[in-house]
Each structure stands twice: as structure tokens, then as C-alpha cells.
Amino acid sequence: MLRAAGLVEALLPVAPARSPSTLDSHIWRLRKVLEPHRDRGSPSAVLRHDRGGYRLVPGAASIDSARFTASAEATRALLADGRAGGAARTAEEALDLWRGRPYAGFADEAWAVASVARLTEVRDQLRELLTEALLRAGSPARALLAVGPGLADTPLRERLWALRMLAQHRLGRAEEALRSYSEIRGLLLDELGLEPGCELRRLHGRVLAADPTLAGPAPASPAVPQVH
């Protein structure tokens, strides 16, 4: 909750403007924006006056960050339940909510840093979940396209490289998968002085050995309409 005195100090820095009536005017206009259909004289359900201050209490469905996080959890649950197609659709809908760095011009403020980092990590996980869901659904070509933005933004994220290699292998492009391994190995050595982790090393070995268990489900094909 923000105290009225603190709001006056933060929003109205010019001394003559520091008055409760001026703050009330701003609050009235803000409520009109937040609840355009609220009946005149009825209490605000979103911006409430509470013990000398104001509390913003919007519903979770109206907050993009809350919907974003909930969609990531739903995607993970759908994947765990074996519903790859639903997981892919949910992940795509969630990623459509991403409009760039959270909190725009305030992202580097002390109060926002932790939230920005958390939401960015949720985005990165969603990209992995989307690619994994597409692979499980038998759509390696779509998975290969989906993994691109994540690698552009987070080139040292090893899980994305593993998914890329798997998509390439399932498309019959084993040589490209091996080149991907060489690429991420070079990046890790140059940037961090580290070899790839266990997942990537094992996958590299399985691609070299042409492990048949890497084949995955049959590629998805569009439904053919029945002719009556």
C-alpha cells in the first residue's frame, strides 16, 4: 500500500501543488481509467482507499505478468500430462504476451530488478517448453524455427542447443546437429572456459552413434478432409 503523503511527495514535487485535494483529483481520474464503467458513488474495486493510503488490487486476469506466469505453469503441466499439442498452443499464447523488457523505462529501478529477472527467466523457460512440446508433438521443423529467438537472446543456454540438435537430427540433418554441438562448445569455451554439460555431451554421443531412440514420434501431418 502507498501512503497518501508519500504519493503527494513522489507525484507532486512542486511545493504549492502538495495538497490532499490535488491528489484526490489525480486519484479520481486514475479510477476513471481503471474502471470506466463503475457507477457514480460506488466504491472502487481496483484502487481502494485503505488506512491513509491507496491499494491497487486488480484481478489476476487483467495483469499480463500474472497471466504469463500462470500460462508457463499450465504449459509445464500439459507436457507432464502428455498433451504436447495443448502445451505448444498454451506456450505460444503466453509468448504472444511478451512485449519486450518488462516495466519498460523502469526496468533498472531497484524495486523492479527482481521482477524483471523473474519474468525474463519465465520467458526463457517458456521458449524451451514450446520447443520441447513441438518435438513431442512430431513437429521438428516448427521446433527448429521456435528455438531461434531463444538462441539469439540467450546464446549460452545449453538446453536450447540440445533441443536444436534434436530437431535437426529428427529432420534427417545429423551433420547440422553435430555442427551445432561444435558451435556451442566453442562459445562455452570462449566465454566461460567450460566444456558443455552432461546433457549436451550425451546427446552429441548419441547423434554420432545414430541412436535410433532419438527418432521421436512420427512427423505431424495435416488432417485430410474426408470425401463423402
Which pLDDT belongs to residue 192?
Answer: 97
* 150/5 Cα distance (integer angstroms): 44
**Stated pTM of the model:** 0.74
How far is 203 from 186, CA to CA, in rounded Å? Answer: 16
Confidence of residue 20 (pLDDT cuts 50, 70, 90): low
Paired with 54 in beta bridges are 2, 49
Of 23-32, 35-44, 142-151, give the range with the top mean pLDDT. 142-151
Higher pLDDT, 61 or 77: 77
Instruction: Give the pLDDT score at 1.
Output: 44
User: Which cell goes with 199?
Assistant: 546433457
Which tens digit of pLDDT belongs to each residue from 125-156? Answer: 999 999 999 999 999 999 999 999 999 999 99
The Cα–Cα gap between 17 and 9 comes to 10
Q: Please check whether residue 154 is in contact with residue 192, taking contact to mean a CB–CB distance below 8 angstroms.
A: no
pLDDT band at 36 (very low <50, low <70, confident <90, very high): confident
Contact 88, 79 (CB under 8 A): no
Average pLDDT score over the chain? 84
